[in-house]
Structure 1
Amino acid sequence: MLGEVEWATFDDPQAESLLAGEVVHTVPYIPPRGYAQVARAVPTAVKLLSGGRFARMISTGSGIALAFVPVARSFGVAAHYVESAARAEGPSMTGRLVSHVPGTRLYAQYPSWAGRSWQYRGSLFDDFRPAQRAVTSTQAKRVVITLGTMRGYGFRRAVEHLVRVVPHVLAGDAQVLWQVGCTDVSGLPVDPRTEVPSAELHRAIAEADLVVAHAGIGSCLAALDAGRCPVIVARQPELGEHVDAHQRMIAAELDRRGLAVWRRPEELTAADLVTAMSRTVERLDTPGPFALADTLRDARTTGHHGAHVADHTPRRPLRRAS
């Protein structure tokens, strides 16, 4: 039986949209390697977890986990950290740090690097399988291009190449939704939106003939949930587009599974777009359970970044709230 669930996440429009109607506690945004911001989030974690109301805390990262996991354990709250599906080759910096907090239960989404410390209970990508669909036209009437809402890291390189390639597959009356986040698109022929409410974005993706996305977990999952095979482009840390290379790991894994078409922006062709349009993605009717490593029942819990919290969580624990 699922106990009461509360959430801790960043205060932004996407979180507000995804968690409408839920009990939500907000902390200021924590950027990658934002250790000062982690410290400022600790009082919120202490306030929430010190009262004895919660039996379990589940986190999927990233920096916010560094505030909540140690505090949870200091108050005797069971702490579970599920490493992101982005981490195909080993734990993130956050994962490596929280692994040193005594008593924390750790979960990997790739059996290749799971071991004594990190348990493998499945991957959220296991919910999906690729399929083919009949394409009557190689021209798209509705297109969604989303670069996520990551703050401080633009992806202009992708936009510059997309504006050259995407028109080759557009119908004459095509509608293109550009969600560009913080990317500077000045001087480019796009009608940009910084953020799009979650419900609107998901609806647009479900109706799209073509989805192009940066290789962020949230953006990729939105496409897969809608049955779309996205074209994905990965940010490169060496170009200042992200803090590390985890987007390449996501892109490579989804491409390997046939769930996406991965290309570097400068190598993307119209044929790649048509290939993605010819595929669909199916969700398995009965995904396997994601069983936590303890047997507490009817727990009152607090999670963040969209972790679905339960005694036995489904194999989709990583729906991000920001």
Structure 2
Amino acid sequence: MIFVITGTQNFQFNRLINYVERICVDKNVLYGHEDFFIQYGSSLKPSEDIVGKDFMKSDEMRKMIENADVIICHAGTASIVESLILHKKVIVVPRKKEFKEHVDNHQYEITNQFFKEGFIEVAETYEELVEKLTNYESNSVKVYEKFSSIKELSDDIINYIKL
């Protein structure tokens, strides 16, 4: 199963929803991974062929991430870190200000840092997403082992700020 996370921001991320819908139409892209589940937030509800939910509780999200083969998500740190803690392959599609998906392009800074460290794959266009999905099994990313929970990460950030 491929779990798509658009986040809980009050901004649409219809571009990512459209990418996934296009991929679902072209079954050759998926190579046996036809099942998508989209957490679509404030975006348009996906077509009836795709299972999804607008918002989910954190325990529901964690179960979906645990059961997923691949995570495709926006560059929300909670989405990325939770997926990495659970040792999932993560493809990040950062939101863009120019498409009114967020107030600025800070998601590129987040994406670039995780990518530079070798933890994630990045796809900005439909073609890049297709390429990353098609080759996700051969893409090598580092295993994220620094923190075992979001709380541990939060504690580390709080301790850093106190310095």
Say which of 51, 76, 79 aligns to 1:216: 76
1:297-312 correspondence to structure 2 within 5 Å:
none
In structure 2, distance between residues paired with 1:219 and 1:206: 12
CA shift in 2, pair 1:259/1:251, >3 Å: same
Aligned-pair CA distance for 1:229: 2.5
> Is the 8 Å Cα contact of residues 115 and 121 (structure 2) preserved in structure 1?
yes
Q: Give the match for residue 254 of structure 1.
A: 114
Q: Give the match for residue 30 of structure 2.
A: 169
1:50-89 correspondence to structure 2 within 5 Å:
none
Q: Percent identity?
A: 21
CA shift in 2, pair 1:317/1:194, >3 Å: farther
1:42-100 residue CA offsets vs partner (Å, 9 max, x unmatched): xxxxxxxxxxxxxxxxxxxxxxxxxxxxxxxxxxxxxxxxxxxxxxxxxxxxxxxxxxx
1:7-156 correspondence to structure 2 within 5 Å:
142-151=1-10, 153-156=11-14
Name the structure where strand makes up a greater proportion of residues: 1
In structure 2, distance between residues paired with 1:253 and 1:211: 18
Matched AA of 2:43: T
Q: Give the match for residue 264 of structure 1.
A: 124
1:138-167 residue CA offsets vs partner (Å, 9 max, x unmatched): xxxx1111101112x101011111222364
Aligned-pair CA distance for 1:271: 3.0
Aligned-pair CA distance for 1:208: 1.3
CA RMSD of aligned residues (A): 2.9
In structure 1, distance between residues paired with 2:147 and 2:95: 32
The answer for unaligned runs of 5 or more in structure 1 is: 1-141, 287-305
Q: Give the match for residue 282 of structure 1.
A: 144
The answer for unaligned runs of 5 or more in structure 2 is: none
More divergent stretch after superposition (260-269 vs 233-242): 260-269
Aligned-pair CA distance for 1:316: 5.1
- After TM superposition, the score normalised by the length of structure 1 is 0.42
SS in 2 for 1:145: strand
CA shift in 2, pair 1:315/1:277, >3 Å: farther
Q: Give aligned pairs, total.
A: 153
Name the structure where helix makes up a greater proportion of residues: 2
